[in-house]
């Protein structure tokens, strides 16, 4: 794909992923036009004044809940990365309809606007919490995934295609536990909900590069899942605060001991490649099934969970991953 000929829009463009995506695209891929679509004018201003201010970069204020505004923003756009979401689990539990309006109805609006505008490709960001969800956030992301995948049926003879990427916790993203642990260590005590807890872990840069690759390779209807390492939360605590006491406070409502990226049921339609899995659409009504010959099927009963992963981060590897976040936080505290 020649990105220089493409107009690209990212919803939620002022979030952790959006900022990194914009930075990488402008530095390495040089799209014809890149549009940051978000509802926060202050964050857009901060992005612009931090150096993300190019002639081909546009800042568009709008909410994914606003379909007419999305249609206006999508005019002339070739590729949409849908990253906008309410993702804080406690906030979603306390404000359930707000989560539904943004994560589900907002995704539906993205689909409608993309179809009406003739967008070529839409790639939506999902999460391991969408697999066998136990909280409202995960349930809304599952619904958003299904919306994206099944909306390929609406495309008919048009060129618009919809796919998803699904990965685990992002190191240092907004709401991440890493900044919390860094703040707590000054008091000599780290709070952990359960010492058995494991999570999938991916860096922001890895997530962005994976999304770009999937946009280039998607056919429509796939859910792309990267092969990423797991981490024990107790190891994260030791990596960030080796001398601090760990206090177990009990698992919270809506929280799992282990996360799942591919369920046993999904595995039946999943193809394994060297560095990722491709969940093909279960119903072969349209497209997205050409991956079968590119990899191998998964064995019966397989599921990809954070506790049965073959790849685990050591304490030293975790320390290397979180070091840039620690430096950034220390600079922020000195400023």
Cα 308 versus chain centre, distance: 22
pLDDT for residue 284: 59
What are the per-10-residue average pLDDT scores of the chain (335 residues)? 96 96 96 97 95 93 98 98 94 96 98 97 98 96 96 85 95 78 88 95 95 96 97 94 92 91 96 96 70 91 96 94 75 54
Residues belonging to the active site:
129
pTM: 0.94
Write the CB contacts of 183 (distance below 8 Å, at least 6 apart in sequence). Answer: none
| Per-domain boundaries in the chain | 3-334
Is 134 within 8 Å of 256 (Cβ atoms)? Answer: yes
Is 279 within 8 Å of 262 (Cβ atoms)? Answer: yes
pLDDT for residue 136: 96
pLDDT for residue 166: 98
CATH architecture assigned to 3-334:
3-Layer(aba) Sandwich (3.40)
pLDDT for residue 175: 67
pLDDT for residue 329: 66
């Amino acid at each position: 794909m020649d990105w220089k000929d493409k107009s690209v829009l990212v919803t939620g463009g002022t979030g952790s992923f959006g900022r990194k995506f914009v930075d990488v695209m402008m530095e390495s891929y040089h799209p014809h036009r890149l549009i940051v679509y978000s509802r926060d004018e202050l964050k857009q201003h901060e992005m612009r004044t931090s150096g993300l201010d190019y002639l081909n970069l546009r800042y568009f204020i709008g909410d994914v809940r606003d379909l007419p505004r999305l249609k206006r923003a999508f005019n002339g756009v070739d590729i949409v990365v849908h990253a906008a979401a309410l993702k804080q689990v406690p906030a979603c539990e306390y404000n359930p309809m707000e989560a539904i309006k943004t994560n589900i109805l907002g995704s539906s609006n993205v689909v409608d606007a993309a179809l009406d505008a003739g967008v070529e490709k839409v790639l939506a960001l999902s999460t391991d919490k969408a697999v066998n969800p136990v909280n409202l956030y995960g349930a809304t992301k599952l619904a958003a995934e299904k919306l994206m995948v099944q909306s390929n049926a609406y495309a008919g003879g048009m060129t618009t295609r919809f796919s998803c990427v699904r990965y685990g916790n992002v190191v240092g993203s907004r709401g991440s536990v890493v900044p919390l642990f860094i703040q707590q260590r000054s008091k000599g005590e780290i709070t952990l909900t359960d010492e058995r807890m494991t999570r999938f872990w991916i860096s922001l840069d890895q997530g962005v590069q994976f999304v770009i690759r999937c946009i280039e390779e998607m056919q429509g209807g796939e859910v792309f899942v990267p092969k990423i390492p797991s981490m024990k939360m107790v190891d994260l605590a030791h990596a960030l605060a080796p001398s601090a006491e760990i206090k177990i406070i009990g698992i919270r409502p809506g929280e799992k001991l282990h996360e799942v990226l591919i369920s046993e049921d999904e595995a039946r339609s999943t193809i394994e490649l060297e560095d990722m899995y491709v969940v093909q659409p279960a119903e072969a009504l349209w497209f997205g099934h050409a991956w079968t010959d590119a990899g191998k099927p998964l064995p019966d009963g397989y599921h990809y969970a954070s506790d049965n992963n073959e790849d685990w981060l050591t304490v030293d590897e975790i320390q290397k991953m979180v070091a840039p976040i620690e430096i950034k936080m220390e600079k922020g505290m000195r400023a």
